[in-house]
Amino acid sequence: MVNVKKQPRKTRRQQQADRRAVAIKLVNLANGVEQPLPLAFQKFVSKDGTNYEISCSRATSLPAETLSWIFSLMEKNMKRPYQESPWGWDAEKKQAELSDPAALHLVATSNGQNVGFSHFRFDLDDDKEVLYCYELQLESVARRKGLGRFMMHALETMALQNQMQRVVLTVFKNNATAVPFFHALGYKLDSTSPQGSDAQHYVILSKQNLSRAD
């Protein structure tokens, strides 16, 4: 009879290191995909018959005028909420964030005009592989037509296809439009969201990829 030597059980730290290594590999693979947006999400027709085209590009591949519009829309929609929060509005920091080489952007156009964008990244969050939605911003003309919901569905599908555990996002608590919008899409309080203080001005929400175990 041959004695088989038992392999020593891995410590919790070793297990966490292994899990992190897997997460890093998945994030790197996702970031290596040249065009992560599925063909089915490159066109959208709203209930009122408006046609939209959706593209996905790295910030470094976008024309300067598109990046300029992205920042302008961000400033128009979000400057005041930032100013009213403890974070404040830092235009230089926000421009750097939106144009960072790691940033990916969905850009929605209609009749050749930019009408909405989503800044997202494949990244690690709390040592888990996630698609992090940094921004979803629409021009007023494109709101309440289902475009925002469609773009979120596109992000969720890209997360699924690239084996991310969840889609994560941060939202100001007092954003009376965004909070119920994300709740209606099934987003719930994430375990990383700040706890224990009514003074916290933001929450972190997430939606689990049901094909993946935590």
pLDDT in tens, 43-70: 999 989 999 999 999 999 999 999 999 9
Has residue 2 got a pLDDT over 90? no
Residue 14 confidence (pLDDT): 80
Domain total in the chain? 1
Domain containing residue 86: 35-160
Report how far residue 146's alpha carbon sits from residue 199's, in angstroms, rounded to the nearest whole number: 32
Q: Which pLDDT value is given to residue 5?
A: 61
CATH code assigned at 130: 3.40.630.30
Percent of the chain with pLDDT over 90: 84
Q: How far is CA 72 from CA 76, 139, 143, 206, 212, in A?
A: 6, 11, 17, 27, 37
Q: Is pLDDT at 199 greater than 70 in this prediction?
A: no
Question: Is the residue at 74 inside a domain?
Answer: yes
Which two three-digit tokens encode residue 57?
A: 């590009």
- pLDDT value of residue 17: 87
Contact 24/157 with Cβ under 8 angstroms? no
CA 131/CA 164 separation, integer angstroms: 6
Asked whether residue 21 is domain-assigned, the answer is no
Flag whether 131 is in a domain: yes
- What is the structure's pLDDT at 210? 65
Q: Could you tell me if residue 12 is left (phi over 0), alpha (psi between -120 and 50 degrees) or otherwise beta?
A: alpha
What does the pLDDT look like over 120-171, one tens digit per residue? 999 999 999 999 999 999 999 999 999 999 999 999 999 999 999 999 999 9
Q: What is the mean pLDDT of residues 103-123?
A: 98
Phi and psi torsions of 198, nearest 5°: -70, -15
Residue 85 confidence (pLDDT) above 70: yes
Let me know if residue 197 belongs to a domain: no
Query: Which strands sit side by side in the sheet containing 128-138, from one edge to the other?
Result: 43-45, 51-58, 104-110, 113-125, 128-138, 166-172, 202-208, 188-189
Are 109 and 42 a contacting pair, CB within 8 Å? no
Tell me what the mean pLDDT of segment 167-181 comes to: 95
Find the DSSP H helices in 32-90: 64-83
